[in-house]
Amino acid sequence: MSAVHAASGPGARVLRGVALHRGGPATVGLEAVAGPITIAQRGAEASLAELHVARADRGVTLASIDDRIRVDLVEHLFAALGGLGVSSGVRITIDDDELPLLDGGARRFAEAILALDVTAEEAAPRTLVVTRNASISRGNAVYDFARDPGVALRVDVEFRAPVGRETAAWAGDARDFVERIAPARTFGWADEHAALLASGRAAAVDLDAVLVYGDGGAIAGCRPAEEGEAARHKLLDLIGDLAIHGGPPRGSITAQRPGHAATHAVIAEAFALGVLAWSPA
The predicted-structure confidence for 196-236, as pLDDT tens digits, reads as follows 767 776 666 777 888 999 988 998 889 999 999 999 999 99
The domain defined by 126-280 carries CATH number 3.40.50.720? no
Q: What is the pLDDT of residue 209?
A: 86
CA distances from 258 to 135, 158, 188, 235 (A): 13, 10, 15, 9
Q: What is the pLDDT of residue 197?
A: 66
Task: Give the distance, in angstroms, between the CA of residue 5 and the centroid of all CA atoms in the same chain.
Answer: 24
Question: 21, 76, 260, 264: which one is catalytic?
Answer: 260
The predicted-structure confidence for 27-60, as pLDDT tens digits, reads as follows 999 999 999 999 999 999 999 999 999 999 889 9
The one-character DSSP state at 50 is G
Residues 90-114 have a mean pLDDT of: 96
Query: Structural domain boundaries of the chain?
Result: 3-123, 126-280
The predicted-structure confidence for 233-281, as pLDDT tens digits, reads as follows 999 999 999 999 999 999 999 999 999 999 999 999 999 999 999 987 5
Report the distance separating Cα 161 and Cα 251, nearest Å.
33
pTM for this one? Answer: 0.92
- pLDDT band at residue 10, thresholds of 50, 70 and 90? low
Contact 228, 167 (CB under 8 A): yes
Q: What is the pLDDT of residue 1?
A: 29
264 carries an active-site annotation: no
Q: Single out the residue of 135, 81, 109, 73 nearest to residue 260, CA to CA.
A: 73
Residues 14-25 have a mean pLDDT of: 88
Q: What is the pLDDT of residue 119?
A: 61
Average pLDDT taken over every residue of the chain: 90
CA distances from 127 to 75, 92, 195, 251, 259 (A): 20, 22, 40, 11, 24
The domain defined by 3-123 carries CATH number 3.40.50.720? no
